[in-house]
Amino acid sequence: QVQLVESGGGLVQPGGSLRLSCAASGFPFKSYAMTWYRQAPGKERELVAWISSTGGNTNYVDSVKGRFTISRDNAKNAVYLQMNSLIPEDTAVYLCKTSLPSSRGWTDYWGQGTQVTVSS
């Protein structure tokens, strides 16, 4: 079955860095785009970064452009989110997601999330 397992979250001071990882299994990872989302308490889930199946194309929400970098290693079935210059507003649970074709169209698969807290 499809599994997405995030790791790498934690507590970091403003201005610090973290690297999140998402380990994927149960589907042909190299064939599908991957996305990082985040959800802060009391807020809607927000798309943070997207990467194409080959890694050749990426996209970011404006608030993280220039600070975050999404990447993937198709040999390791993993996607990463390098987060630099972190600010308190980046505090959230970060989740990775993929969408796979099914008999009913496309089905979204989510990981369990990893908590990122930016605080002094």
* pLDDT number for residue 104: 86
% of the chain beyond a pLDDT of 90:
97
**Mean pLDDT to the nearest integer, 60-71:** 98
Is residue 32 predicted with pLDDT exceeding 90? yes
Question: Residues 94, 39, 34, CA angle at the centre, nearest 5°?
Answer: 45
Q: How confident is the model at residue 53 (pLDDT cuts 50, 70, 90)?
A: very high
Is residue 110 predicted with pLDDT exceeding 90? yes
pLDDT tens digits along 68-105: 999 999 999 999 999 999 999 999 999 999 999 988 89
- Which of 100, 86, 91, 93 is closest to 34 using CA atoms? 100
For the chain, give the mean pLDDT.
Answer: 97
25 within 8 A of 35, measured Cβ to Cβ:
no
